[in-house]
Structure 1
């Protein structure tokens, strides 16, 4: 679902109402997957609809059993809502990739087209698109803010990675911190979270790791010697025949608990399979 006000809503009032409800459900689900909560007012500001309209959509989704009655104005999904939200998000992401694949358009334009199609496409049509994405790619593509749960089931998946000095290319130089990390990153997929795990080698110390979201630097969670990086901060690259080939993000590593400077920036490149 693109974060834009819908156009041409008067084409079909009943369907347009259903589209708006699915868009809200998909948005709340995406934020829940990222460990965040939103209110109907925040959703209205993000999408450009009125607060009255957003409140009406929430009431409808509560009646249908997709949302709980809001507490503290936060929107919370029921189990039924989580399943439906996951389905909405999967349709949106696969359609976005499809339009990028067959046309070479950028992600924003592909998302706009996906928003129009995702509410009407049949299960057979979506299955055909999934098959095409797997076996009939045409264009390489780049996309971000992706939920890897639509590609993987629950589990942990080891993946090769590189940590580079971002300003040094042709040739690229590995950052000094790379030698302090285990050789594999782990993609951890759960229903409630997706993250990449980076583990320091035995008796090595790395300091503080940071990632950037919406221009803000956030300190990565650390459990013992393992750092957690949310999957939605990465940009994903794909080429013909392979849904995802690599995940790239600018992170930072500091010795002290302080916001990073440019000299602390590192490029993390994970080879996704």
Structure 2
């Protein structure tokens, strides 16, 4: 996904979204644990996300998304799911490898390529994962 957010920023947003289940606040300790990094590193990254208007955090409080942050996190998540689905269903890549590759590709893939993957999946006779609504995913990515 070509945009102004760095891959690291996108990874943090994705982890926060995963830990928050979309709407709960998250502790920096949990973010650090999930990424297997020091709490100080996570704190520094969260400060950057705050500066970019993607998350909010009170001193000693939990991290929550801004509207912009949640929207960007959902884009990363949906992009990842589409790439993973495409790799598994079309290219027959095993799930673990497809997931790893999707993590790398989600940061650089263009919206046009994602749209092409969605169109290919829709036209084909592929059994799409229940948690991936292609039409809804495309709307989020726009």
Q: TM-score range by the shorter chain?
A: 0.7 to 0.9
Q: 1:91 to 1:64 in 2, by over 3 A?
A: same
Q: Secondary structure of 1:61's match?
A: helix
| Aligned equivalent of 1:24 | 12
| Aligned equivalent of 1:102 | 90
Residue 152 of structure 1, CA deviation: 4.2
Paired with 1:128 and 1:105, the residues of 2 have a C-alpha distance of: 18
Q: Secondary structure of 1:100's match?
A: helix
Residue 35 of structure 1, CA deviation: 4.2
Paired with 1:69 and 1:119, the residues of 2 have a C-alpha distance of: 25
Q: 1:25 to 1:70 in 2, by over 3 A?
A: farther
Residue 104 of structure 1, CA deviation: 2.1
**Which residue, 59, 63, 72 being the options, matches 2:51?**
63
The structure with more helix, counted as a fraction of residues? 2
Matches within 5 A, 1:27-176: 27-70=15-58, 72-136=60-124, 146=131, 152=136
Q: Which runs of 5+ in 1 are unaligned?
A: 1-14, 154-273
Q: Secondary structure of 1:68's match?
A: strand
TM-score by length of 2: 0.78
Residue 102 of structure 1, CA deviation: 2.3
With a CA cutoff of 8 Å and minimum separation of 6, indicate the structure with the bigger relative contact order. 2
Task: Please say if residues 107 and 142 of structure 1, whose CA atoms lie closer than 8 Å, have aligned partners that are also in contact.
Answer: no
Paired with 1:78 and 1:84, the residues of 2 have a C-alpha distance of: 10
Paired with 2:111 and 2:45, the residues of 1 have a C-alpha distance of: 25
RMSD: 2.8
Q: Which runs of 5+ in 2 are unaligned?
A: 138-142
Which structure has the bigger radius of gyration?
1
Paired with 1:53 and 1:25, the residues of 2 have a C-alpha distance of: 15
